[in-house]
Amino acid sequence: MKSKKLRNFAFTLHRYIGLAVGLILVIVSLTGSVLVFADEIGHILFVQQFGTVVPQGQMLSPTSVVDTLKAASDWEPNTKFSRLYIPITPDAPYVLDVLHPPDNSVTEISLAQISSVFVNPYIGTIMGKQRWNEQLISSVVDLHCNLLAGNTGKTIVGIVCFLVLVLNITGLFLWSGWRKLISGFKIKWNVHLKRLYFDIHKLAGIITVVFLCFTAFTGVCWSFYEFSEPVIRAITLSPAKLEPVSQIIPNQLSLKLANQLKTSQAELPDGKLRAIDFPQKPDSLLIIRYSMPQEYTYNTGQSKVYLDQYSGKVLRVDNSQKESLGPRVLNSFPSLHYGTFGGLPTRIFYIFVGLAPLILLVTGFVMWWYRYKGKNRSPQTRELAG
């Protein structure tokens, strides 16, 4: 009797959570499917708008590109260099993200206040500029993470991701394959539409349940990172590292980038340079980002060298291959969320994972609708139908 009550409770919870968050979940999951191949889509869009990068021997150094960009005279007032992305492939450009807030008092930067500048890595010419809010991929990212609603949307996405975890747990509990394994994977085609949708629902759910848990859990952690990060560090006994700052030296400018890059590379000799984060304040650090061998990550890399922008002193090194358990768990989030941990096959599979919530919502709604209609029939209609 208790088992039946528990199952009925799980069924009710599963049904109404699915109906409540289904539409938002579909939006988030479909945009997630697009972002699995964000780099490839972004490159296609770049070529269509700004042209092709033709390899011509050796690429220009990051220092040379930065010097060229600093010498440009058409920057808006208050413009600051934010991050320089290093080309990963021979036909990719350097990409410089710049911030141009209306004034120095702005604390929260919007997409409209960030631009990407694309630079030919062989001849150093600026191929084009584009605001983030004008870039398709950036808009998809904003929709996926924030529902185009800033911090409010981010909170909603986090709550939905938590409820998706509940959906997965209750769905796994209700799966018919626990009673008979083959029934949990079988679809009966020549049956009533309600039964057919039930079979499709249970099959799509059980195939993707683990991976939907990956994406939902990481989504919760990212949406509420200020809470999840210290919790994960506490559970894994991985204390947070101190955040260093540059020691301001009056009347002294930052050291040349070439020297800073040489120093940072010596700290991570096996790392591949991926990005450079420029100091935004007088006491900010210069952060050089690298990817280490066998690292599944974005094009920014997960290993970092923190340098004093004035003295060039190395203040901290985060080597992804030597981190404690907590940082390794946090570093695993991108690969678990976007399916990069298994290379191209898992990325392709994650497209289906992103489509699964749409399938589950449609089939779940049809089953609910048949059940709702059945409950609201008159006794005479039920007798005639039966």
Instruction: Give the model confidence (pLDDT) of 135-171 as tens digits.
Output: 899 999 999 999 999 999 999 999 999 999 999 999 9
The Cα-based distances of 104 to 101, 107, 155, 193, 216 in angstroms read 7, 8, 27, 61, 37
Half-sphere CA count of 153, side-chain side, radius 13 A: 14
> Cα separation of 146 and 223, whole Å?
9
Q: What is the pLDDT of residue 35?
A: 95
What is the predicted pLDDT for the residue at 43?
93
Indicate left, alpha or beta for 124 from its phi (over 0: left) and psi (-120 to 50: alpha). left
Task: Give the Cα separation of 107 and 59 in Å (integer).
Answer: 36
Question: Does the pLDDT at position 122 exceed 90?
Answer: yes
Highest mean pLDDT out of 14-28, 72-86, 288-302: 14-28
Structural domains in the chain plus CATH codes: 241-322 (3.10.450)
| pLDDT of 385 strictly over 50 | no
Largest Cα separation within the chain, whole Å, is 92
For the segment 28-70, what is each residue's pLDDT rounded down to a tens digit?
Answer: 999 999 999 999 999 999 999 999 999 998 999 999 999 999 8
CA separation, residue 201 to residues 32, 171, 239, 359, 366 (Å): 20, 10, 43, 7, 10
- pTM for this model (two decimals): 0.88
What does the alpha-carbon distance between residue 276 and residue 271 come to, in Å, rounded to a whole number? Answer: 14
Distance CA 215, CA 196 (A): 27
Mean pLDDT of the region 218-239 = 96
pLDDT at 297 exceeding the cut of 80:
no
Query: In this structure, are residues 115 and 136 in contact, taking their beta carbons and an 8 Å threshold?
Result: no
| pLDDT band for position 77 (cuts 50, 70, 90) | confident
Asked if the model's pLDDT at residue 361 lies above 90, the reply is yes
> Residue 235 — very low, low, confident or very high, per pLDDT cuts 50/70/90?
very high
Confidence of residue 380 (pLDDT cuts 50, 70, 90): very low
